[in-house]
Chain A
Amino acid sequence: MLTLAAPWWLILIPLPLILARLLPGFRPAQSGVTVPFFDLVARLTGLTPTTGPAVDHPPLIQQCVLWMCWILTTLALARPQWLEPPITRTVPTRDLLLAVDLSGSMETKDFTNEKGEKVDRLTAVKGVLDDFLQHRKGDRVGLILFGSIAFVQTPFTQDAEACRTLLDEAQVRMAGPKTALGDAIGLAITVFEHDSKVEDRVLIALTDGNDTGSEVPPDRAAHIAKDQKITIHTVAVGDPRAAGEEKLDEQSLRDIATTTGGLYSHAADRNSLKQIYARLDAIRARPVETVSHRPRRELFYWPLAAAMLVTLAYHILLAWRSATPVGSASAAARAAAVLVVGALSFGALGNFHFLRPWALLLLVPVAAVLVVIARQTQSLRGWRSLIDPELLAALQVGRNEIRLWRPLTALAVVSAVASVAIAGPTWRREASPFSDDESVLVICLKTTPSMLAKDVQPTRLTRASQKIGDLLALRPGTRTALIAYAGSAHVVLPLTRDAPLITQFASDLTPAVMPKEGDRLDEALTLAQEQIVRSDAPGSIVVIADDIPESLSPALRKFRDDGGVPVQVLGMAGEPGAPVPPDSPPAPPLNIANLRQRAGDLGGSVVTVTPDDSDVHSLASGTVSRLVETSAAQTGQSWHDSGYPLVFVVALLMLSWFRPGWFIRWPGGASA
């Protein structure tokens, strides 16, 4: 639907009437010809001679055109916009925590899946969760893994996909062999307390229930959870008939569920699982919060373009009528073409470009008309056909002082500014709450002991994670993946829109978690490329590293030659000679020359770390501009149309047209 974003500007419509009263009359600097029949002509035409050049009035039609333009311009000022139908997004009203058991007993292959195969319990859990996560679109899900200890694998996130991927990577015994179910419940209570504001707190524990080695017994933990209004649904995995370490303790799981008002289900029992889903769906403690966003499309350029066309049409008509040989108009057209091409090629630089470059074509007729006017409105022009040049030169009085600001230049400037405004210059992206930006970014973070050096405060690695946070803030709503590499490369987080999640994972990385020492950037890049290919979207890679070994050069070249996406490297190390705190692990300083060469191998560029966020801006613009090249169609809508402020300039300049006597004097127009 059509709306006016700034309707109050419409009150400007009568402004010219006031201005016409207030402004002093404009007298074009005209040179005249001294004639002996001056008084006679004055008498015949009934015009009063003026001291200085005449203040005249434009012909009626020109006044009409002017008013039409003015009204259209104020209409553009009122900023008409097309409101798209609202896009709503449900803000999750439920926070679910999933506690997944990774104790040794989960290896037991005693679970029969739908196909009748025997699989281990963990696989079964993953199967149940797959179902589950599919049902839980729009909820926030967190993931707790527990074994001998419990830890939060994923804080609350809406990105179920990321959650799912992380779960996939969970290995049995990752958190120790035991089953600390009680601790997991305790941890869940803490997580809810910290991160969740919703009334209904639901924990789903998927376990074989055999609590061993919890500091807090599960039933105690369940009571505390009940006080905290946490409902715990328990899903048992495993064979109830098993015994010993692997036995399934159904009873305690049932107890936990009943204590907190939850349900107990067996993973193989689809019906009871469905009941849990139904229960979850029934949670509507408060009305569903929706964020409604109605994308607005700027339409101001339509009235502006109409104003331009009206003016142009009028002047072209008159130019036609005055029928002068337009020899230099072609030159003007050429100049305008150069301008257009220049503007367009300038647009190709950096992020600056035009959303509607075709509007720049308006400059061509504008330039042509201006040339004609310039030739037409020289005040001596008419005389030239009547009087010999030598005599004319002698008879001329009041040399044409070249006034910079006169109707002709005003028309030129207004037209040029309006054309640019219509063309819709843009250089920044629209921050829409639901960006349609499909582009992806993969960050490869080097996680080796050398990254713990403190020549970049506090440490290279910590600073790297801060920079990742800053970088993601500049790319709102886009998908990012995080890869950590040392002697091997691992996807820490697959592509997700959940920026805080990535930042958190990045900050949790330490060299200690990396299984192998070394520097295999090439592997990391290969993984990154896989992520991008899988996303089927234009993407770019940012590598954050203190150095890249020279030995990788052939591998990097191969990566580039195999059609790898462009890579930017953020050199995360102190300059040589930078002060290094004494407790810093020894690490070579920044070798910028080497980094440049390696980036060259990759066909990429290097940005060095800076105290402010200019490095991040540079990285972000690098990723963005590549987006423009690769998928202008996809990202075109998300560019912020910066043409609107120019309408104010146009309006302001247009006001000068209402100055008495300020108009383009065409020969052949009706005399006032």
Chain B
Amino acid sequence: MPEAPSSGVRINIDDLVRLKASAQGYSLLPRQPVHSILAGTHASRLRGRGLSFEELRRYFPGDDVRTIDWHVTARTRKPHVRVYSEERDRPLLLIVDQRPTMFFGSRRAMKSVAAAEVAALSAWRALAVGDRVGGLVFDGQELSEIEPHRSESRVLALFHAIVRMNQRLAPDSPAGTITLNQVLERAATVARHDSLVCVISDLSGADQETVRLMTRIQAHNDALLIFIHDPLEAELPQAGRLVMAQGERRLEVDTSTRKFRDDYAQEFENRVTRLKSLSLKRAVPLLEISTAEDVTSQVRRALGGAMQNRRRH
């Protein structure tokens, strides 16, 4: 049974720590389960770790013939194989969005909470397979950088940063000046190569520059877009007059107009289509996470494929 956060509004450190138990049944590694969105047919396989040369040894029957090193075999007249080990080090860089736009949710939890959960699940998973975990956590005013490190305390430090910003969020939080692009810019410099860069965000404010930055990151790293959204962002049901707010500003909208609702839903469709095309073109996989559903099962469904007869997203 996946653990639900104690509150859907704000997350605390215990919630994130508790997710350690749920961090299984999916993988961030190159060899993906067959139903994962990252599986073979998909254009963008996770590159996985680089291989580091371990040793040369005699060939034993059963070894993969492809691993035979012909140069050495020719010199020694004995079949030798090269043994590689997977590189031990593929740092996971979590880019966790905790901007005010993330402070919204209609069912179960806020987007900011869902983002924190996804971050925790990824972090625990990576730590479990012995990867270094670091991250960039940001809200409108602050960008907190945690160097990747293979230690639980570092993960907790990351969690603390997330929780601190998460707790700070309020309906009247100032929008701030930090943009997604600024953070990606930073991520591009931090993740030099062979990192897995997980962008966990609602991707608000994404534009051409974002595409350029993601391309840049993708050139030497694996990138994964985790798109956090709320059902209400996808469509607005008929609910009479709604008063929307943004800081001091108010907008009273009559949701009983069909045209408006259609336009609204269309707008979201377009956005998702754009993101998907981005992920196809740039080989950046897109993972959609809805706030309304338990995050762990969504992640497992997308990256684990443990469930049978699952509807493909």
Spell out A's residues near B (CB within 8 Å). 30-42, 44-45, 47, 49-54, 56, 322, 376, 379-383, 385-388, 390-391, 394-398, 665, 667-671
Question: 9 more A-B contacts (CB under 8 A) besides A33-B245, A381-B240, A397-B247?
Answer: A34-B246, A35-B232, A44-B263, A53-B243, A382-B240, A388-B8, A391-B105, A398-B250, A671-B241
* B182 located at the interface, meaning its Cβ lies under 8 Å from any Cβ of chain A in the complex: no
Which stretch from B74-82, B126-134, B251-259 is at the chain A interface?
Answer: B251-259
Contacts of B239 in A (CB 8 A): 382-383, 385-386, 667
Q: CA of A578 to CA of B239 in the docked complex: distance in angstroms?
A: 80
Residue of A nearest to B249 (CB): A49
Contacts of B204 in A (CB 8 A): 36
* Closest Cβ–Cβ distance, residue A402 to chain B (whole Å): 16
Contacts of B254 in A (CB 8 A): 667-671
Residue pair A42, B171 in contact (C-beta under 8 Å):
no
Residue pair B242, A36 in contact (C-beta under 8 Å):
no
* B53 located at the interface, meaning its Cβ lies under 8 Å from any Cβ of chain A in the complex: no
**What are 10 pairs between A and B in contact, CB < 8 Å?**
A35-B245, A35-B246, A36-B204, A322-B240, A379-B241, A381-B240, A382-B242, A387-B106, A387-B232, A388-B108
Residue of B nearest to A377 (CB): B241
Residue pair A386, B106 in contact (C-beta under 8 Å):
yes
- Among A32, A376, A388, A396, point to the contact of B250 (Cβ < 8 A): A32
Residue pair B232, A382 in contact (C-beta under 8 Å):
no
* B233 located at the interface, meaning its Cβ lies under 8 Å from any Cβ of chain A in the complex: yes
| List of 3 A-B pairs having minimum Cβ-Cβ separation, nearest first | A667-B240, A32-B245, A671-B254
Residue pair B244, A38 in contact (C-beta under 8 Å):
yes
Residue pair B242, A42 in contact (C-beta under 8 Å):
no
B window 1-54: CB within 8 A of A: 7-10
Contacts of B233 in A (CB 8 A): 36-37
Interface 1/0 per residue, B243-283 and A, CB below 8 Å: 11111111111111100100110010000000000000000
* B179 located at the interface, meaning its Cβ lies under 8 Å from any Cβ of chain A in the complex: no
Residue of B nearest to A376 (CB): B240
In the complex where A41-B264, A322-B240, A396-B171 touch, is A36 in contact with B202 (Cβ < 8 A)?
Answer: yes
Residue of B nearest to A667 (CB): B240
* B103 located at the interface, meaning its Cβ lies under 8 Å from any Cβ of chain A in the complex: yes
Q: CA of A49 to CA of B255 in the docked complex: distance in angstroms?
A: 16
Q: CA of A42 to CA of B236 in the docked complex: distance in angstroms?
A: 14
Residue pair B257, A33 in contact (C-beta under 8 Å):
no
* B107 located at the interface, meaning its Cβ lies under 8 Å from any Cβ of chain A in the complex: yes
Q: CA of A395 to CA of B100 in the docked complex: distance in angstroms?
A: 11
- Among A34, A47, A382, A386, point to the contact of B245 (Cβ < 8 A): A34
* B110 located at the interface, meaning its Cβ lies under 8 Å from any Cβ of chain A in the complex: yes
Q: CA of A38 to CA of B264 in the docked complex: distance in angstroms?
A: 11
Residue pair A41, B8 in contact (C-beta under 8 Å):
no
Q: CA of A639 to CA of B21 in the docked complex: distance in angstroms?
A: 85
Residue of B nearest to A324 (CB): B240
Q: CA of A329 to CA of B101 in the docked complex: distance in angstroms?
A: 40
* B124 located at the interface, meaning its Cβ lies under 8 Å from any Cβ of chain A in the complex: no
Contacts of A42 in B (CB 8 A): 251
Residue pair B244, A36 in contact (C-beta under 8 Å):
no
Contacts of A383 in B (CB 8 A): 239, 242
* B237 located at the interface, meaning its Cβ lies under 8 Å from any Cβ of chain A in the complex: yes
Residue pair B171, A38 in contact (C-beta under 8 Å):
no
Contacts of B232 in A (CB 8 A): 35, 386-387
Residue of B nearest to A394 (CB): B9
Residue pair A390, B245 in contact (C-beta under 8 Å):
no
* Closest Cβ–Cβ distance, residue A191 to chain B (whole Å): 84
Contacts of B10 in A (CB 8 A): 394
Contacts of B251 in A (CB 8 A): 32, 38, 41-42, 45, 47, 49-50, 54
- Among B109, B111, B243, B260, point to the contact of A32 (Cβ < 8 A): B243
Contacts of A385 in B (CB 8 A): 237, 239
Residue of A nearest to B241 (CB): A667
Residue of A nearest to B111 (CB): A36
Residue of B nearest to A44 (CB): B263
Q: CA of A322 to CA of B240 in the docked complex: distance in angstroms?
A: 9
Q: CA of A397 to CA of B100 in the docked complex: distance in angstroms?
A: 14
Contacts of B152 in A (CB 8 A): none
* Closest Cβ–Cβ distance, residue A457 to chain B (whole Å): 75
Q: CA of A456 to CA of B130 in the docked complex: distance in angstroms?
A: 116
- Among A54, A376, A390, point to the contact of B8 (Cβ < 8 A): A390
In the complex where A44-B264, A668-B256 touch, is A35 in contact with B104 (Cβ < 8 A)?
Answer: yes
Contacts of B104 in A (CB 8 A): 34-36, 395
Contacts of B102 in A (CB 8 A): 36
* B142 located at the interface, meaning its Cβ lies under 8 Å from any Cβ of chain A in the complex: no
Output the residue of A42, A379, A397 with the most chain B CB within 10 A.
A397
Residue pair A50, B240 in contact (C-beta under 8 Å):
no
* Closest Cβ–Cβ distance, residue B222 to chain A (whole Å): 28
* B172 located at the interface, meaning its Cβ lies under 8 Å from any Cβ of chain A in the complex: yes
Q: CA of A96 to CA of B168 in the docked complex: distance in angstroms?
A: 104
Residue of B nearest to A31 (CB): B243
* Closest Cβ–Cβ distance, residue B245 to chain A (whole Å): 3
Residue pair A390, B9 in contact (C-beta under 8 Å):
yes
Contacts of B106 in A (CB 8 A): 386-388, 391
Residue of A nearest to B248 (CB): A51
In the complex where A38-B244, A390-B7 touch, is A49 in contact with B101 (Cβ < 8 A)?
Answer: no
Residue pair A30, B255 in contact (C-beta under 8 Å):
no
Contacts of A37 in B (CB 8 A): 233, 264
Interface 1/0 per residue, B199-237 and A, CB below 8 Å: 000101000000000000000000000000000110011
Residue pair A671, B257 in contact (C-beta under 8 Å):
yes
* Closest Cβ–Cβ distance, residue A571 to chain B (whole Å): 69
Q: CA of A390 to CA of B204 in the docked complex: distance in angstroms?
A: 24
Q: CA of A175 to CA of B119 in the docked complex: distance in angstroms?
A: 126
Q: CA of A45 to CA of B255 in the docked complex: distance in angstroms?
A: 10
Q: CA of A38 to CA of B109 in the docked complex: distance in angstroms?
A: 19
Q: CA of A426 to CA of B245 in the docked complex: distance in angstroms?
A: 51
* Closest Cβ–Cβ distance, residue B250 to chain A (whole Å): 4
Residue pair A32, B105 in contact (C-beta under 8 Å):
no
- Among A45, A386, A670, point to the contact of B237 (Cβ < 8 A): A386
Contacts of A387 in B (CB 8 A): 105-107, 232
* Closest Cβ–Cβ distance, residue A462 to chain B (whole Å): 77
Q: CA of A667 to CA of B243 in the docked complex: distance in angstroms?
A: 11
Q: CA of A33 to CA of B105 in the docked complex: distance in angstroms?
A: 11
Q: CA of A626 to CA of B85 in the docked complex: distance in angstroms?
A: 113
Residue pair B252, A40 in contact (C-beta under 8 Å):
no
Residue of A nearest to B263 (CB): A44
Residue pair B246, A52 in contact (C-beta under 8 Å):
no
Q: CA of A51 to CA of B245 in the docked complex: distance in angstroms?
A: 10
Residue pair B245, A52 in contact (C-beta under 8 Å):
no
Q: CA of A380 to CA of B10 in the docked complex: distance in angstroms?
A: 21
In the complex where A385-B239, A387-B232 touch, is A49 in contact with B246 (Cβ < 8 A)?
Answer: yes
Contacts of A56 in B (CB 8 A): 252
Residue pair A53, B252 in contact (C-beta under 8 Å):
yes
Residue of A nearest to B233 (CB): A37
Contacts of B109 in A (CB 8 A): 391
* Closest Cβ–Cβ distance, residue A488 to chain B (whole Å): 85
Contacts of A388 in B (CB 8 A): 8, 105-108
- Among B9, B107, B202, B243, point to the contact of A33 (Cβ < 8 A): B243
* Closest Cβ–Cβ distance, residue A45 to chain B (whole Å): 6
Q: CA of A375 to CA of B252 in the docked complex: distance in angstroms?
A: 17
Contacts of B107 in A (CB 8 A): 387-388, 391
* Closest Cβ–Cβ distance, residue B271 to chain A (whole Å): 10
Output the residue of B102, B254, B260, B264 with the most chain A CB within 10 A.
B254
Residue of B nearest to A43 (CB): B267
Contacts of A394 in B (CB 8 A): 9-10, 110, 171
In the complex where A35-B245, A38-B245, A52-B248 touch, is A397 in contact with B9 (Cβ < 8 A)?
Answer: no
Q: CA of A32 to CA of B243 in the docked complex: distance in angstroms?
A: 5
* Closest Cβ–Cβ distance, residue B118 to chain A (whole Å): 18
Q: CA of A53 to CA of B245 in the docked complex: distance in angstroms?
A: 9
Residue pair A34, B263 in contact (C-beta under 8 Å):
no
Contacts of A38 in B (CB 8 A): 244-246, 249, 251
